[in-house]
Amino acid sequence: MACGKTTCAIHYSDHSSGGSDRTDPDHVGWSLNRVWVVLSLWTSRHRQRRALAQLDTRLLRDIGVTRAQAEREVRKPF
């Protein structure tokens, strides 16, 4: 998984032609780690969007965001 400041991309490779088995503990642990990273990212975004929703117009202007942009961001599901 490659994560930047605002995005996270999951890279998937199929090991069915040989290599590790999906029931292999290393593969299962890696998969659980991926799930944990994605859930953590979603939780972080949710907290940040809640905080953004609480900012008044003056503070939004200070960070260069309009009320419409903030509302659009707050409505995003993930």
How does pLDDT run along the chain (78 residues), one tens digit per residue? 455 555 555 554 555 555 556 667 777 788 999 999 999 999 999 999 999 999 999 999 999 999 999 999 999 998
Return the half-sphere exposure (C-beta side, CA atoms, 13 A cut-off) of residue 25.
0
Quote the mean pLDDT of the chain: 82
pTM comes to 0.60
| Residue 74, CA distances (Å) to 21, 26, 45, 65 in order | 41, 37, 9, 12
| 71 CB-near residues (< 8 Å, 6+ apart) | 53
Nearest in space to 1 (alpha carbons), one of 38, 29, 26, 39: 38
